[in-house]
Amino acid sequence: MKIESARVIVTCPGRNFVTLKIETDQGLHGIGDATLNGRELAVASYLTDHVIPCLIGRDAHRIEDLWQFLYKGAYWRRGPVTMAAIAAVDTALWDLKAKALGVPLYQLLGGRSRDGAMVYAHANGRDLAETVDRVGEYLEKGYKAVRAQSGIPGVAGVYGIGKKDGHYEPATKGLPQESIWATEPYLDFTPKLFEALRDKYGMGPHLLHDVHHRLTPIEAARLGKSLEPYRLFWMEDPTPAENQESFRLIRQHTVTPVAVGEVFNTIWDCKDLIEGQLIDYIRASVVHAGGITHLRRIADLAALYGVRTGCHGATDMSPVCMGAALHFALWVPNFGVQEHMAHEPLTDEVFPHAYRFEDGYMHPGETPGHGVEIDETLAAKYPYEPAQLPVARLPDGTLWSW
């Protein structure tokens, strides 16, 4: 099965997505997500100008060889742009191979390890009471796991808080927006939120929280300790992870489970975290960590150390990524949970898909391939709109991690 052509489709049905479509001489096509939030066109150019010319005429069945070719062949290793581009090719090739064999993708990985993938929803409110209500709404919809983020009295623009209608989308049109971050009110407020949630909903539901890289290691240790009575499923990105060793400090102080990895792009970003048993969940995604081929390598390493997967699944992972992630989730033996932040109806229209939500779990469906397509005619009606992620500053104006 030879690759005959490939092209990049950039579309903005509510938010920007970059999709790679590969077509073969057998009339089959495969698609992969290449979206890198706020830096979309860099990946589009990487693919169009540098990768696609190398793909033409190659055997689409040689997934591993093409992965190695693009990774080692670039000479400049790793990095989010490179790895998102490789991921798009890899995902499209897994989609193609599964379609060529007439099976859903999870069958190629080794078949199902479970009946469905438990997902967690995003609940957010402008204050404690609203957040508690929103969590309840998701529990009523059947979610077994809910992430809670709340506005904090006196702190404007806290991460993860939506507009009035509750809708939250991190990237905003145009240039980056600025927000203020204040650590101390956050450290005091957050345990009160989870106390209120456990009071109202009991110990049954899984509760999660995203710190979004905003604390120093010792502050993160304090937060983890203060949340222990509420038995969180995880505390996410408690501190930036460039220095993997800094998680040891958090570990020395708290048994609140730690999840990290949405900004990771290779196994090297998490090797020490995993081998040192410094984390409990690895959040690398299909699109940002080199596709299924590389994510599988990360998950296999993680399994040796009792670390489970909790793949990033915000709205900037396109439905194509979500489809691939759900096949991966159905197979991966050390599955933990999959993030699920529902896309807008318009996005779902542009990307028709076989996956579905049912009673707290998601199912990838039985369609050959990963089960997600792109409606190119509809996609063309929504051209790219420049948008970027916000930045955060401390009250004195110091630029901080957003």
Which residue type does 190 have? T
Contact mark string toward ligand EZ4, 203..242, x via CB under 6 A: -------x-x------------------------------
Choose the stretch contacting ligand EZ4; rule: CB under 6 A; options: 9-17, 70-78, 97-105, 309-317: 309-317
- Tell me how crowded residue 135 is: count the other CB atoms within 10 A of its CB: 26
- The reply on whether position 280 binds ligand EZ4 by CB under 6 A is no
- The reply on whether position 262 binds ligand EZ4 by CB under 6 A is yes
With the CA atoms of 80, 86, 88 and 92 taken in that order, what torsion angle do they form, in degrees rounded to the nearest 10? -160
From the candidates 71, 120, 138, 159, give the one annotated as an active-site residue: 159
Residue 37 binds: one of ligand EZ4, Co ion, none (C-beta under 5 to 8 A by kind): ligand EZ4
Q: Which of residues 69-128 bind ligand EZ4 (CB under 6 A)?
A: none
Kindly list the distances between the CA atom of residue 99 and the CA atoms of 96, 286, 287, 332, in Å, as whole numbers in the listed order. 5, 19, 20, 20
**Count of residues engaged in binding Co ion, rule: CB under 5 A:** 2
Residues in the chain: 402
- Residue 244 near residue 273, CB atoms below 8 Å: yes
- Residue 89 near residue 324, CB atoms below 8 Å: no
The three-class DSSP label of residue 173 is strand
* Side-chain half-sphere CA neighbours of 165 within 13 A: 3
Q: How far is the CB of 237 from Co ion (least distance, A)?
A: 5
From the candidates 29, 206, 209, 212, give the one annotated as an active-site residue: 212
Q: Look up 143 and say whether it is catalytic.
A: no
Kind and range of the H or E run holding 97? helix 80-101
Helix axes 291-304, 63-73, angle to 10 degrees: 90
Q: Which is nearer to ligand EZ4, 206 or 212 (CB)?
A: 212
Kind and range of the H or E run holding 148? strand 145-150
- The reply on whether position 269 binds Co ion by CB under 5 A is no
The dihedrals phi and psi of 351, each to the nearest 5 degrees, come to -120, 80
Q: Which residue in 40, 280, 316, 373 binds ligand EZ4 (CB under 6 A)?
A: 316
- The reply on whether position 210 binds Co ion by CB under 5 A is yes
Q: Look up 340 and say whether it is catalytic.
A: no
Residue 90 binds: one of Co ion, ligand EZ4, none (C-beta under 5 to 8 A by kind): none
Q: Which residue in 170, 224, 336, 368 binds ligand EZ4 (CB under 6 A)?
A: 170
Contact mark string toward ligand EZ4, 35..74, x via CB under 6 A: --x-------------------------------------
Q: How far is the CB of 312 from Co ion (least distance, A)?
A: 7
Kind and range of the H or E run holding 236? strand 234-236
- The reply on whether position 339 binds Co ion by CB under 5 A is no
The dihedrals phi and psi of 309, each to the nearest 5 degrees, come to -85, 150
Residue with the shortest CB distance to Co ion = 210
Choose the stretch contacting ligand EZ4; rule: CB under 6 A; options: 21-29, 68-76, 242-250, 312-320: 312-320
Q: What is the largest CA-CA distance in the chain?
A: 61
| Token reading at 187 | 């450290």
**Contact residues for ligand EZ4, defined by CB under 6 A:** 37, 170, 210, 212, 262, 312, 314, 316, 339, 389
Active site residues: 159, 212
